[in-house]
Structure 1
């Protein structure tokens, strides 16, 4: 089944992720290049939060100054990317199901045991990589945008529901819930002044 997982990974990337790569990278480059005016004052923003919509990670992204370092009351604009505005339709669990069925059929694998009473495919039995691939994709876009702009901005990726924890976009690291962000950044050599 590992071989099938790899084939589904590749199909998922080619079908849903790679077509969105240029748009997401351009959005992040715009964030780094100050296209979005987060505040009325000229305070330099060194740390941002990038959020994805939990139930559909690549339908909607938004970025803003990180809430632990900057007063949210002073934020006047949030950088938003709605991929529908760039001619990308959201992909649904049904779309992912169909993609999985196609790969299974192409490889002559009987998936009838994974169908429920409504003929919906429960692909969790053999493929659970979707979320990881989406997060890796966002981290890769972040890295590419930073290379394009030479930005030194730090960023943390979070889901809109806060359930997936916080990811350090620069180090591809999941920050455990019990770790203080300030201590974490200091351990990596960053001393960022918090706004009171």
Structure 2
């Protein structure tokens, strides 16, 4: 009986030990399975909330300067004038289109605001005007070279005092065309000794029809034009004068001329000294030139 009892106890101990081993093994398997499941499951990342920001021309520079790639299906554009000028306007068209979309998605949207916003932004019209001026720089420079090389024709032969200064009189007709003529400076020279040459006049209609492009964009984007007005004068005079400075400098370098020049708007007065690229105070013209060591001839003549 004693031996049978001992044998029973040993069997019981063996069963308990085996049960413990099985439980530990099961835990290890479950742990490993859970770890594998976690590894195989995609990581849950924190969601980033992307808020729609009102465009407001915020990305003009990024788009226009090429830092942001834009894609427009050209086939969606119907206007012939837009397609003919697509190389110039595609990025601007994209930005304006996105701006219009953003405005129309705004809770405070009004159609009138679109036209108001575009008329004061002037990004497209200003850039197109720059391109127009870039396209005529060579023509303007050649025009000025001809004047400088033949400036003696602006002076009557009997006049012994040579021509010292010329005025470039100009008119800008909105942002579509301009007129320039050269004549002896009325500040420097007595008019009775001056002559005028039709060869020293230039009338030019700019290549890109800015107004036509604006109208076509409005039509493409279904924008109600209403009282739209392009305040072109805010930028045309500044950009035109800068272009004239550059062309005058090139013409002077090409000819070696010492002739002085001023850029005068047609309605009167002197706007700029072309040689030093500065505006001239109309009340202090004499002092302006005296500081440069220049005597105004008109004051010496009867």
Q: Does 1:122 align with 2:229?
A: yes
Matches within 5 A, 1:152-163: 152-162=258-268
For residues 127 and 77 of structure 1, the distance between their equivalents in structure 2, rounded to whole angstroms, comes to 29
Against the structure 1 CA distance between its residues 21 and 183, is the aligned structure 2 distance closer, same or farther, given a 3 Å change threshold?
same
Shift of 1:8: 4.0
2:210 corresponds to which of 96, 101, 107:
96
Q: Quick check: which has more Rg, 1 or 2? A: 2
Q: Does 1:144 align with 2:262?
A: no
Q: TM-score, normalised by structure 1?
A: 0.73
Q: CA RMSD in A?
A: 3.3
Q: Does 1:11 align with 2:142?
A: no
Q: Does the aligned pair in 2 maintain the 1:49–1:63 contact within 8 Å?
A: yes
Q: Indicate the SS of the match to 2:173.
A: coil
Indicate the structure whose relative CO is greater, using CA pairs within 8 Å and at least 6 residues apart.
1
Against the structure 1 CA distance between its residues 177 and 135, is the aligned structure 2 distance closer, same or farther, given a 3 Å change threshold?
same
Q: Which protein is richer in helix relative to its size?
A: 2
Would you say how many aligned residue pairs link Structure 1 and Structure 2?
Answer: 178
The unaligned stretches of length 5 or more in structure 1 are none
Q: Indicate the SS of the match to 1:63.
A: strand
Q: Does the aligned pair in 2 maintain the 1:50–1:62 contact within 8 Å?
A: yes
Shift of 1:185: 0.9
For residues 27 and 111 of structure 1, the distance between their equivalents in structure 2, rounded to whole angstroms, comes to 43
For residues 137 and 52 of structure 1, the distance between their equivalents in structure 2, rounded to whole angstroms, comes to 13
Against the structure 1 CA distance between its residues 186 and 123, is the aligned structure 2 distance closer, same or farther, given a 3 Å change threshold?
same
Q: Does 1:82 align with 2:228?
A: no
Q: TM-score, normalised by structure 2?
A: 0.50
Shift of 1:68: 2.1
The unaligned stretches of length 5 or more in structure 2 are 1-56, 61-120
